[in-house]
Amino acid sequence: MPSFHDFPLLPATCTVLAKMEITEPTPIQAEAIPALLAGKDFVGQAATGSGKTLAYGIPLVERIARNTRVVQALVLVPTRELAIQVHEVLSQLASPRRLATALLVGGRPYGNQLSALRYGAQIVVGTPGRVKDHLDRGSFVLSQLRMCVLDEADQMLDSGFAPVIEEILATTPDTRQTALFSATIPDWVETLQKKFLNNPIKVDMTPAMGTQSTIEQIAYQVPQEHKMAALCTLLHSAKGESSLIFGRTKFGVEKLGKQLNKLGFTVGTLHGNKSQHAREEVLKAFRLGQVQTLLATNVAARGLDIIGIDQVINYELPESSDLFTHRIGRTGRMGRQGKAITLLIPSEVPTWRRMARNLGQAVALQRLVIDEEALATPPLVSPEAARTQEREQNGEPRSVHDRKPFSPDQERGRRTQPEHDNDTASGMKKRRKERVTSGTPARTPAWQPEGFSLPERSYSGKAKDERRRAGKQSSFGRTTRKHKAHAFAATAPQRPTARRKLRAIPGA
């Protein structure tokens, strides 16, 4: 196996790799880096967790002209979480060369993104929808693009991004270099290769059938009424290690999270109804060990690169065999050992067998010995999770990383306004109006001293009617001097006034 010193890399890149404690390239990196450094188009098929980000990230940073302050490299990924992770890796590689980067994803305000583009970002990482939005706005152009990377291309098709990606690629110059990475190669990816890639080098790094895998797969058949007890038994057997549990629906994931919380487990939920801020916070808490169990929909099946997930549990079967592959790929990453467990009720067994045949895997059904006291026994918790629970019990304020995600009702309330309204005056006025009508207290201003409170204003219907009647005498709710004089003349009592005597003017 070659080392990174065998590639013609800049000293700054070698320094960053040394800080990352990465010495030897993975198989996909060993194939992709020389081809991309040579300026060739590349198609890489590799399983999740094989090191694809560095496979294209290293050549991308190496080939950028440092003194040209325009967008030279574009990386398109299907999910916000994957975009954030890729941006972090590329930022580390680009920092020694002082290259500017920009992250364009939904769920975040446009202000910071526009500032990064105006500053002269040379590397852009984003999701197709937000990138296309900026192109339509004229925020940036791709006329001088040198390299374009499509990561997780097969999921872009599943997410409905195929037409958008073709529109984006149509705005780029024909001289660009294109790299495409995907775990599977569906028909659309084949069409994309023929249309936008120029004699690409193709590499298939998916493990052959029968090859020893680092992921131990287990399937348990359990009755429907004992499914929760079976899940608790598996979580107890993890002995405080991190677990990732997959469900099919957002509502089901939230419901399961509430049930496990009541049983004493430290859990977090991740799905599409959560705001981007809440999703990032729960992922950060999971990485830090403050949350031991993460419940997620298929939004976490790809792009979730967390080293050290002990087990992945399919509480509910996914919709396809490809999604199953991506789910279990969250564990056993980068050559580490992992465990993938699937819970099946009797009616799901035929579907499971068809899915296993499509994957070319033979996983025997087993019977799980369910601990009858699993629903009543408190779980083991990690030191980080224990400290989090202790802070909650003592009523201490949570840190930013410990803050609870918003509930579904709160999320629905937050999503009543479009994302682009967050930074406008009209959007602020609407939020103030909603806060008044709903009775939600306003935020305490930063200048307000502790213990100081402003007098409460009455927003009752009676007071509102009085203000409306008074407003008839005014313009835009304010009484002008002219109207004030008329109102006073109509209401004030009429009193006789004495006439002033005229003084004689001398010489008149």
Q: DSSP states of 20-67 as a string?
A: TT--S--HHHHHHHHHHHTT--EEEE--TTS-HHHHHHHHHHHTS-TT
In angstroms, the CA 312 to CA 407 distance is: 24
With vertex at residue 149, the alpha carbon angle to CA 147 and CA 153, rounded to the nearest 5 degrees, is: 155
Write out the two tokens for 438. 């709903």
My answer on whether 238 and 368 are in the same domain is yes
My answer on whether 178 and 41 are in the same domain is yes
In angstroms, the CA 275 to CA 406 distance is: 8
Residue 349 and residue 323 in contact, taking contact as beta carbons nearer than 8 Å: no
Q: What is the mean pLDDT of the chain?
A: 77
My answer on whether 12 and 51 are in the same domain is yes
Range of the domain at 18: 4-204
My answer on whether 223 and 103 are in the same domain is no
Q: Which helix (H) or strand (E) holds 365?
A: strand 365-366
365 bridge partner residues: 219
80: buried, middle or exposed (CB in 10 Å: 19+, 13-18, 0-12)? Answer: buried
Does the structure show a pLDDT above 80 at 454?
Answer: no
On the CB side of 286, CA atoms within 13 Å amount to 27
In angstroms, the CA 382 to CA 402 distance is: 15
Q: Which helix (H) or strand (E) holds 269?
A: strand 267-270
Does the structure show a pLDDT above 80 at 496?
Answer: no
Per DSSP, the three-state class of 68 is coil
pLDDT, tens only, 197-244? 999 999 988 765 444 467 888 899 999 999 999 999 999 888 778 899
Answer whether residue 465 is part of any domain.
no
Exposure b/e, 340-350, CB count within 10 A at least 16 = b: bbbbbeeebee
Give residue 151's pLDDT.
92
My answer on whether 149 and 17 are in the same domain is yes
Per DSSP, the three-state class of 294 is strand
In the numeric block, the tokens 């149509």 are attached to: 170
Give residue 71's pLDDT.
96
What is this structure's pTM? 0.62
Answer whether residue 76 is part of any domain.
yes
My answer on whether 271 and 392 are in the same domain is yes
My answer on whether 31 and 146 are in the same domain is yes
My answer on whether 34 and 167 are in the same domain is yes
Answer whether residue 444 is part of any domain.
no
CB-based contacts of 2: which residues, under 8 Å, 6+ apart? Answer: 24, 25, 30
Q: Please state the rounded mean pLDDT for residues 243-257.
A: 92
My answer on whether 22 and 56 are in the same domain is yes
For 327: left if phi > 0, alpha if psi spans -120 to 50, otherwise beta; the answer is alpha
φ, ψ for residue 391, nearest 5 deg? -65, -40
My answer on whether 192 and 309 are in the same domain is no
pLDDT bin (cut points 50, 70, 90) of residue 339 is confident
- Residue 370 is which amino acid? I
SS3 content of the chain, % helix, strand, coil (to 5): 45, 15, 45
- Residue 27 is which amino acid? P
Residue 71 and residue 148 in contact, taking contact as beta carbons nearer than 8 Å: no
Length of the chain: 508
Answer whether residue 8 is part of any domain.
yes
φ, ψ for residue 47, nearest 5 deg? -70, 160
225: buried, middle or exposed (CB in 10 Å: 19+, 13-18, 0-12)? Answer: exposed
pLDDT, tens only, 423-448? 444 444 454 555 445 554 444 444 34
My answer on whether 364 and 231 are in the same domain is yes
Q: Which helix (H) or strand (E) holds 180?
A: strand 177-182
Answer whether residue 458 is part of any domain.
no
Domain termination site, one of 204, 227, 250: 204
User: How many separate domains does the chain show?
Assistant: 2
Residue 13 sits in a domain whose CATH number is 3.40.50.300
For 434, other C-beta atoms within 10 Å of its C-beta total 13
For 15, other C-beta atoms within 10 Å of its C-beta total 12
Does the structure show a pLDDT above 90 at 74?
Answer: yes
For residue 460, CA distances in Å to 42, 104, 442, 465 come to 67, 44, 17, 9
Does the structure show a pLDDT above 70 at 389?
Answer: no
Domain termination site, one of 369, 394, 409: 409
pLDDT, tens only, 352-380? 888 888 777 778 788 888 887 777 676 66
pLDDT bin (cut points 50, 70, 90) of residue 342 is very high
Q: Please state the rounded mean pLDDT for residues 313-334.
A: 82
Better pLDDT: 31 or 205: 31
Give residue 55's pLDDT.
94
Answer whether residue 308 is part of any domain.
yes
383 bridge partner residues: none
My answer on whether 235 and 134 are in the same domain is no
Give residue 449's pLDDT.
40
Answer whether residue 454 is part of any domain.
no
Domain termination site, one of 393, 409, 425: 409
Answer whether residue 415 is part of any domain.
no
pLDDT bin (cut points 50, 70, 90) of residue 381 is low
pLDDT, tens only, 158-202? 677 889 999 999 999 999 999 999 877 888 888 888 899 999 999
